[in-house]
Structure 1
Amino acid sequence: MPITLAQLIREARLRAGDMTQRELASLAGTSMENITSIENGRNKNPSPEIISGLANALDISVEDIFHAIAGTLNRLPWERVSDLDLKDPELELMFRQVDSLLIGEARERVKAFIRFTLDEERKRKRREIEEGKKT
């Protein structure tokens, strides 16, 4: 069953450190009413500006948002692993080695570190966006 735009945006928002709708609206440059409307499925075709803002704020691709709008997104972006094609070959090799070599607690430590690092980067990115809007 395809992932809807409402599902994609809500799941991505919650995955980004339990971000509120108000925080997402601010980061995406739109109103909280627009975010609520999108997440409740009332606005199924937001403007290109909102789509771009959502993609930047949620760290997801514009293409994934368009696929959700078209009803052709079959997996959430963070659930896809078979299409691992990173810009950094060393990083790609490391991810593949973690997947094939580590088990149990070692694997969980790596995943916890990656989650922590990504959460910190998302927070930093949000702060930069917020500071940019204040000036």
Structure 2
Amino acid sequence: MAVTLAHLIREARIRRGNMTQGELGKQVNTSMENITAIENGRNRQPNPDLISGLAQTLDIAVEDIYAAIAGKLNRFPWEKVGDLDLMDPELELMFREVDDQLEGEAKERVKSFIRFTLDDERRKRRKEKKE
């Protein structure tokens, strides 16, 4: 099932430390009502400037946002094994196996740990780039 724009933005916002709709709106220079409309599926075609701001603030590729708008995004970007940038092929294989073999709460716990680790690494890389 395709990931909708509404679901993508809501999940990405929550992943950013449970950011509120109002906080997100301020960071991307739009109203909380507009963020609410996007997350409720009432605004399915945000303008390009807003899409760019959402991508930057939520650490999502612009291409993924447009794919969600087009109904072509099949997984959350942070769940793609290719997004892991793993140098060790055995480690990548292990993550693929977790995705294929585990179910329910165990799978979600492992994925949450992976997401946390990846987010931490991304933050470190962004910080290093700024310095």
TM (norm. structure 1) is: 0.68
Relative contact order higher in (CA < 8 Å, ≥ 6 apart) = 1
Query: Matches of 1:116 and 1:74 in 2, distance apart?
Result: 21
**Alpha carbons of 1:51 and 1:112: their partners in 2 closer, same or farther (altered >3 Å)?**
closer
Query: Matches of 1:93 and 1:24 in 2, distance apart?
Result: 33
Query: Matches of 1:14 and 1:56 in 2, distance apart?
Result: 15
- Structure 1 residues 35-78: Cα deviation after superposition (integer angstroms, max 9, x where no partner): 00000000000000110010001000110000000011101001
Specify the structure having the higher radius of gyration (Cα).
Answer: 1
Indicate the residue corresponding to 1:61 in structure 2.
61
Query: Matches of 2:116 and 2:63 in 1, distance apart?
Result: 28
Query: Matches of 1:80 and 1:116 in 2, distance apart?
Result: 13
Indicate the residue corresponding to 2:100 in structure 1.
none
Unaligned stretches of 5+ residues in structure 2: 95-109
2:117 is the counterpart of 1:114: yes
**Alpha carbons of 1:5 and 1:34: their partners in 2 closer, same or farther (altered >3 Å)?**
same
Indicate the residue corresponding to 1:33 in structure 2.
33
Indicate the residue corresponding to 2:99 in structure 1.
none
- Give the deviation of 1:117 after TM superposition: 2.4
Query: Matches of 1:4 and 1:33 in 2, distance apart?
Result: 19
TM (norm. structure 2) is: 0.70
Indicate the residue corresponding to 1:11 in structure 2.
11
Q: Which runs of 4+ in 1 moved over 3 A?
A: 96-101, 110-113
After superposition, the CA RMSD in angstroms is: 3.2
| Contact 2:9 2:39 (C-alpha < 8 Å) held by counterparts | yes
Unaligned stretches of 5+ residues in structure 1: 87-91, 102-107, 126-135
**Alpha carbons of 1:85 and 1:27: their partners in 2 closer, same or farther (altered >3 Å)?**
same
